[in-house]
Amino acid sequence: MYFLDTLFGNKTWCDPHRTECSNAFDDTYVNFTHWIVTKDPLPAAPVSVSSTSWSQASVDSILRSHLLANLWSRGGRLQCCFDQESLDLMFVTYKGSVAVDEIFDVANLSTGVVQIKYKTDTDTQAGPALRPMGIPHNTHQPLPYFTFLMELGAKSPHRATQASIKATPSPSLADGAFEKLQCEWMDALKELNTYRSQKEIKQQRKRGQDATEKKLLQAVHGARVNMDAYNRFMVSVRGASSDVYGILKTANIAEEFASLLSVTMPSPTTQDTAIQCMRPLERLGETAHTAWMSTYVVGGSEDEPMDVDT
């Protein structure tokens, strides 16, 4: 909460839901100093950490727990790859004590997910669509997670609050409710996959999606939305001035940030393809396609003309 209060420059940003947000995140911490750019998309399906069977699902859950633990210990946040579903950025949160003599428990790790928009028009659908991408969950009582929609180009206030910031806490649900929601989603997904696997339907699908399949897809989507809404705390922010992000005023960089946005918004659409191919140089290694660069030495003296062919 201290991090969020500092970001917005006040403690009123989540009013009238300060109590709900404090109850969810007062004992939650963040730990990051830099961004890590990803090349591959994050997994879409959530996986339970309570599964006791040694299956691919449990293996994936362990790997994802390791991802969150590594990000926490390295002090990194993820900048997702281009065209990542739903979100643009992700950071790790830890619920519980971070004292040096406390045992680090990966079960206390959760996430914050962020989407950034530069459009001047508001997007009322983007916030509810934000969700964690395949993080491990405790099916009985999953930890709360934080979603953050930054509409930097929008200037109109939220209709419900007539303010630039709108905080939407998760409704209070009983223990075990998430497990039921997850089962409903998995049942809907299983029913869809069963229907698609039928030989007769495969022939029909060649001619286009039929009404039954559309209905099953809607059921899967609805069940997924209900599941992802569990313990989700969403903050939607419009604008990019120091009146909205108080940290800009505190750090005395309001003008610099405005200048940065002015040269990056709107995005030059004719160059989008080229921009998406640009990324920091990959780590040099024996198997990377840049491996030759680690041992390559330019021969000859500095006075010799450069061999253009080389």
Give the pLDDT confidence score for residue 27 in this predicted structure: 93
- 259 vs 290, which has greater pLDDT? 259
Percent of the chain with pLDDT over 90: 38
pLDDT for 159 beyond 80: yes
Report pLDDT digits (tens) over 219-253: 998 998 888 888 899 999 999 999 999 999 999 99
- Tell whether pTM > 0.85: no
- 150 vs 81, which has greater pLDDT? 150
When pLDDT is averaged across residues 79-103 and rounded to a whole number, the result is 89
Give the pLDDT confidence score for residue 200 in this predicted structure: 66
How far is residue 137's CA from residue 183's CA, in Å, rounded to a whole number? 13
Percent of the chain with pLDDT over 70: 74
Sign of CA dihedral 21, 26, 32, 36: negative
How far is residue 240's CA from residue 85's CA, in Å, rounded to a whole number? 24
The alpha carbon torsion through 58, 106, 64, 277 (nearest 10 deg) reads 180
How far is residue 141's CA from residue 177's CA, in Å, rounded to a whole number? 8
- 139 vs 19, which has greater pLDDT? 19
Quick one: residue 28, left, alpha or beta (phi over 0 = left, psi -120 to 50 = alpha)?
Answer: beta
Report pLDDT digits (tens) over 185-229: 889 988 988 888 875 656 655 655 578 888 999 999 899 888 888
How far is residue 310's CA from residue 301's CA, in Å, rounded to a whole number? 15
Look at 41-55, 87-101, 160-174 and tell me which has the smallest mean pLDDT: 41-55
Give the pLDDT confidence score for residue 33 in this predicted structure: 94
When pLDDT is averaged across residues 41-70 and rounded to a whole number, the result is 60
Please answer whether residues 34 and 75 qualify as being in contact, where contact means their C-beta atoms are separated by less than 8 angstroms. yes
The confidence band for 284, taking pLDDT boundaries of 50, 70 and 90, is low
Residues paired with 235 in a beta bridge: 148, 167
How far is residue 244's CA from residue 281's CA, in Å, rounded to a whole number? 35
Average of per-residue pLDDT values in the chain: 80
Look at 76-90, 142-156, 203-217, 269-283 and tell me which has the smallest mean pLDDT: 269-283
Of 140, 134, 158, residue with least CA distance to 13: 158
Of 170, 185, 90, 172, residue with least CA distance to 135: 90
Backbone angles phi, psi at 212, to 5 degrees: -65, -40
The confidence band for 306, taking pLDDT boundaries of 50, 70 and 90, is very low
Give the pLDDT confidence score for residue 291 in this predicted structure: 62
The confidence band for 303, taking pLDDT boundaries of 50, 70 and 90, is very low
How far is residue 289's CA from residue 14's CA, in Å, rounded to a whole number? 48
Return the SS3 of 140. Answer: coil
Which token pair is 76? Answer: 């990194």
Report pLDDT digits (tens) over 134-147: 667 777 778 899 99
How far is residue 204's CA from residue 284's CA, in Å, rounded to a whole number? 49
